[in-house]
Amino acid sequence: FPVTPVQPLSRKMYVCDSRFHTEHLRDQLEVKDQFGLMVVDRESAAYALLRGNHMTFLRNLHSFVPGKHGKGGQSQRRIQRGTEILAKDHLRRAGEMASKLFLEIPDLKGIVVGGPSLAKDNFVRGDFIDFRLRDKIMGTVDTGYTGEQGIRELMEKSTEILKDVRYLEEKKLVQIFLSELGKDTGLVVYGQKEVMKAMELGAVKTLLISEELDVIQTKVACPQCNYEKQEAVKAREFVEFEDEIIKRNCPECGSSKLSIEDTQDFVVELGKRSNETGL
């Protein structure tokens, strides 16, 4: 059956293989933050939006700053003053365009600015960009190109900056969790049963999931008396758990027909509960 990707696929593959290549589709299922990319110099400014590995080019802006000239004396000074005025006006227009494009994005996590060192630095240090965006500038990157080619260069060179931002956000959440836990405020819970109960009550605002969480949620049932019980088991112990259920009798009616009726990855189950409660 046809599958429509969440985002347009930026990479095409023509492979004759013994398996289905679904890596790019799985990657799109992850919730990803959006970042603004901007490359600016005296002659132009370019803008793009980065979400995961998918880059969307937004706009190219050209300046009216003239190139080099051969005049001297007073004419040279007059032309130079005029050039500087036009250069500042271009940076102002570049900042206004950044505000127009990026302030419309409600979940924008940050902006990375690239370009030749002098023009880029003048833009970031000067009063050219909206204060709401200034606080979102995560860093600057030197690029040898401008325009769409410069955006692609900036995207490649921004990997470490974006990685550091995600790490700091995760670290901040963990610190808040540990602080509330240490103060015993009652505002945090941990453990599978406790978290699931809090989610059922709609009392969860932020959910932290450890990368090491490797649990399968099972439903053990008896067809004789309709007994049911939810049990969690570590993935690496699931085979042994199946053998144990076969040997176990129903605690309600004593039947030996106890079986595992359903299994669900616990992380997937948490995701479903999150959607149901609007988390």
* From 39-53, 76-90, 138-152, the region with the lowest mean pLDDT: 76-90
Q: pLDDT (tens digit, 9 = 90+) per residue, 12-27?
A: 777 787 777 776 666 5
- Mean residue pLDDT across the chain: 83
| Burial bucket for residue 130 (CB in 10 Å: 0-12, 13-18, 19+) | middle
pLDDT value at position 116?
86
- Cα–Cα distance measured from residue 51 to residue 109, given in angstroms and rounded to the nearest whole number: 10
Q: Whole-structure pTM over 0.85, yes or no? A: no
Spatial CB neighbours of 9, under 8 Å, sequence gap ≥ 6: 24
List C-alpha distances in Å: 276 to 32, 144, 190.
20, 48, 20
List C-alpha distances in Å: 161 to 125, 135, 152, 164, 167.
19, 15, 15, 5, 10
278 confidence band (pLDDT: 50, 70, 90): confident
pLDDT value at position 231?
87
Instruction: For residue 85, give both structure tokens.
Output: 């005025």
Spatial CB neighbours of 59, under 8 Å, sequence gap ≥ 6: 46, 47, 97, 101
Residue the block writes with tokens 């059922």 = 200
Q: pLDDT (tens digit, 9 = 90+) per residue, 251-264?
A: 989 888 889 888 88
59 confidence band (pLDDT: 50, 70, 90): very high
Higher pLDDT, 137 or 276: 137
pLDDT value at position 25?
67
77 confidence band (pLDDT: 50, 70, 90): low
